[in-house]
Structure 1
Amino acid sequence: MPTNGARRIRRADPAEAGELEALQKRSSTHWGYPPGYFDWAGDALAIPGAYVRNHPVFVLEEDGRSLGFYAFTEQDGNLLLDKLFVDADEIGKGRGKLLWQHAVRTARELGRSGFVVASDPNAAPFYAAMGAVQYATKPTPEPSWTLHMFRYTLSD
């Protein structure tokens, strides 16, 4: 479907938290995770309105359709890129890179010198390609799935 190019990245509204949670879920299907795979994560995948209200959450929108989003939180004194998701049918079309570039600008506007990323193992190559450096892996309650931890330092 052709677009008229009306693309923007905007601050998310708490009222669309459910839509973002659904987009996050659809995005995970790209990697072939079966339904219910992330049940072990409990509320970690929930996106309540308060999350959107209390954190920098930005949505990539094109022709009125939300194609992806990212969110920053704080963890252990670090700025954490807590979420970066692109709708499953949009992965591989440069949408993630647009969100990443916006996230870098946002981190800079927040006065930060860098941020960390806790990545799905399948997304780790994307973060490495964006210039983030992997420094650790962290186990999860699911033995077959580990978080890949990255650091990204903002350049001058």
Structure 2
Amino acid sequence: MSTNDARRIRRAHPDEAGELERLQSRSSTHWGYPPGYFDWAGDARSIPDTYVRNNPVFVLEEDGKRLGFYAFTDEDADLLLDKLFVDADEIGKGNGKLLWQHAIQTARELGRSELIVASDPNAAPFYAAMGAVPYATKPTAEPSWTLHMFRYALSR
């Protein structure tokens, strides 16, 4: 899918996994998380090439620069929007909304009627603004940080 300007969204390649992991880390700095803050999350923050190979992962880029990405995984028969990250310098420019819209279309193409979002607490207002409905929070190994869970019904 192309966007309406020089930005485009394409399927990620497994050899980009390391760069996507670094982009994810840079994105987290936007919320003021210090370096190493997510060490408690263990492998949950890693993006190995097998993750990219085995899941729908899409990259938003402009002139060869990766601006953001998203990824779906299956969790208990649900389609989970496992990751949606925009590079810290690119937040607030409409890139998250472009990725969200593409993710919705991809979920439809996958034949799904709903998707689940596991959100950083700081990104929860974004998902609410996109029309996702909050339904739970999930504790993590870090008592001060919880996942905010959303559902989004896909219209046909």
Give the TM-score of the pair, scaled to structure 2: 0.96
Cα distance, 1:23 vs structure 2: 0.1
Distance 2:131 2:6 in 1: 28
Determine helix, strand or coil for the equivalent of 2:127: helix
Distance 1:67 1:40 in 2: 26
Q: Deviations over 1:74-102 (max 9, x none)?
A: 00110000000000001111000000000
The answer for the alignment partner of 1:11 in structure 2 is 11
The answer for the alignment partner of 1:24 in structure 2 is 24
Query: Which segments of 5 or more consecutive residues in structure 1 lack a partner in the other structure?
Result: none
Determine helix, strand or coil for the equivalent of 1:31: coil
Distance 1:105 1:93 in 2: 21
Determine what percentage of the aligned residue pairs are the same residue: 83
Question: Where does 1:68-107 land on structure 2 (aligned, <5 Å)?
Answer: 68-107=68-107
Distance 1:25 1:61 in 2: 17
The answer for the alignment partner of 2:127 in structure 1 is 127
The answer for the alignment partner of 1:46 in structure 2 is 46
**Cα RMSD (Å):** 0.6
Determine helix, strand or coil for the equivalent of 2:152: strand
Cα distance, 1:155 vs structure 2: 1.5
Distance 1:56 1:107 in 2: 10
Query: Which segments of 5 or more consecutive residues in structure 2 lack a partner in the other structure?
Result: none
Cα distance, 1:6 vs structure 2: 2.4
AA in 1 matched with 2:22? A
Cα distance, 1:7 vs structure 2: 1.5
AA in 1 matched with 2:145? W
Distance 1:65 1:35 in 2: 23
The count of residues paired between Structure 1 and Structure 2 equals 152
Give the TM-score of the pair, scaled to structure 1: 0.96
Determine helix, strand or coil for the equivalent of 2:101: helix
Distance 1:89 1:81 in 2: 22
- Which contiguous aligned blocks of 4+ residues in structure 1 show a shift greater than 2 angstroms? none
Cα distance, 1:114 vs structure 2: 1.1
